[in-house]
């Protein structure tokens, strides 16, 4: 019963997010990359603490786990996790998850090209959302009526907006394809940039 209720809630979110993606032009590769952001919200704190989503390639989400034991355990939960991600991202965005039991190390600060440094939570937390940002959040979440689920999704979306506003304020260039700020040095962001043959 709880699973059915959660599925209905996430189905509602699916419609809201898909509409937002269409209005903002966030589709395809960008939609896939949202899996990295929403991963903790979908899998819950216990699994999130033992995993790190790495990247999405050809519709496959690669996730590092803290041990091979965790990797084997999550293989049995893969169908349920994939279904949960699908309810938020939409059908066809992801088609598989690969769990890598090699462990991971969280970098304290990630350095970006051209001397730019990816902002951490301490920077994001200092960014105040504008009235337009708040209106955008309300528009995206207008079809989400469950209070708890709405609050969780609002935190994720606000996180994205604050990071974007921080980058804009610090002079990060905009990608000519998707319009989002990125580190450079290429004109396009790493999501829109064409892949080189043989790139790992």
- Is there a single domain that holds both residue 96 and residue 144? no
- Is there a single domain that holds both residue 36 and residue 88? yes
Q: Nearest 5°: phi and psi at 12?
A: -65, -40
- Is there a single domain that holds both residue 91 and residue 130? no
pLDDT per residue as tens digits for the range 28-65? 666 777 888 889 888 888 888 889 888 888 889 999 89
Global confidence as pTM: 0.45
Q: Is residue 192 part of a domain?
A: yes
Of 25, 40, 37, 131, residue with least CA distance to 81: 40
Q: Nearest 5°: phi and psi at 83?
A: -65, -40
**What are the angstrom distances between the C-alpha of 160 and each of 10, 24, 124, 125, 164?**
19, 13, 9, 11, 6
- Is there a single domain that holds both residue 123 and residue 198? no
- State both tokens at 185: 């040095």
- Is there a single domain that holds both residue 152 and residue 67? no
Identify the three-state secondary structure at position 199: coil
Distance of CA 174 to the CA centre of its chain: 19
Q: For the chain, what is the domain count?
A: 3
- Is there a single domain that holds both residue 92 and residue 139? no
C-alpha 199/C-alpha 88 separation (Å) is: 30
C-alpha 154/C-alpha 160 separation (Å) is: 10
Strands 96-100 vs 60-65: parallel, antiparallel or unpaired? parallel
DSSP character at residue 174? B
* Sequence-ordered alpha helix ranges (H) in 141-182: 147-169
C-alpha 108/C-alpha 104 separation (Å) is: 13
pLDDT per residue as tens digits for the range 67-91? 888 888 888 889 888 888 888 888 8
C-alpha 69/C-alpha 67 separation (Å) is: 5
Angle of CA points 165, 166, 168, to nearest 5°: 65
pLDDT per residue as tens digits for the range 93-119? 899 999 988 777 654 434 444 556 666
25 sits in the region (left: phi over 0; alpha: psi -120 to 50; else beta) called left
Average pLDDT over residues 112-129: 67
| 131: containing domain | 118-169
Show which of 68, 100, 132 is a domain's final residue.
100
Q: Is residue 105 part of a domain?
A: no
pLDDT per residue as tens digits for the range 132-175? 888 888 887 787 777 777 777 787 778 778 888 888 888 888 87
- Is there a single domain that holds both residue 25 and residue 77? yes
Q: What angle, 0 to 180 degrees and rounded to 10, lies between the N-to-C axes of helices 68-89 and 2-24? A: 60
- Is there a single domain that holds both residue 47 and residue 128? no
In the predicted structure, residue 194 carries a pLDDT above the cut 70: no
Query: How many contiguous H segments (helices) and E segments (strands) does the chain have?
Result: 7, 3
């Amino acid at each position: 019963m709880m699973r059915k209720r959660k599925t209905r809630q996430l189905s509602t979110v699916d419609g809201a997010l898909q509409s937002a993606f269409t209005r903002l032009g966030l589709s395809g590769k960008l939609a896939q990359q949202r899996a990295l952001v929403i991963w903790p919200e979908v899998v819950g704190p216990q699994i999130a603490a033992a995993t790190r989503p790495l990247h999405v390639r050809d519709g496959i989400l690669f996730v590092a786990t803290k041990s091979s034991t965790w990797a084997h355990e999550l293989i049995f939960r893969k169908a349920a996790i994939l279904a949960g991600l699908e309810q938020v991202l939409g059908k066809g965005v992801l088609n598989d998850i690969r769990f890598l039991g090699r462990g991971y190390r969280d970098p304290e600060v990630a350095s970006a090209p051209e001397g730019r440094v990816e902002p951490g939570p301490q920077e994001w937390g200092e960014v105040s959302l504008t009235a337009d940002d708040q209106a955008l959040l309300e528009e995206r979440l207008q079809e989400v009526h469950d209070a708890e689920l709405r609050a969780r999704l609002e935190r994720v979306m606000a996180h994205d907006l604050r990071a974007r506003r921080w980058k804009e304020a610090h002079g990060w260039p905009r990608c000519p394809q998707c319009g989002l700020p990125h580190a450079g040095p290429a004109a396009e962001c790493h999501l829109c940039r064409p892949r080189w043959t043989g790139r790992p």
